[in-house]
Amino acid sequence: MQPLSRLVRKIIARINASVQAKQYWSKKLKGTTLFVDETFIEIGEKKRYLIAILNEHGQVVHFDFVEHRDAITIEKLLSVAENRLLTQFSLLVTDGLTAYIDV
pTM confidence score: 0.79
Q: Domain limits of the chain?
A: 3-102
Inter-residue contact 67 to 48 (CB < 8 Å): yes
DSSP three-state, residue 30: coil
2 C-beta neighbours (distance < 10 Å), count:
13
User: 15 pLDDT band (50/70/90 cuts)?
Assistant: confident
Note the pLDDT tens digit of each residue in 29-78: 999 999 999 888 887 788 889 999 999 999 999 998 888 888 899 999 99
Whether the CB-CB separation of 51 and 66 falls below 8 Å is answered with yes
Which are the contacts of 17, defined by CB distance < 8 A and separation ≥ 6? none
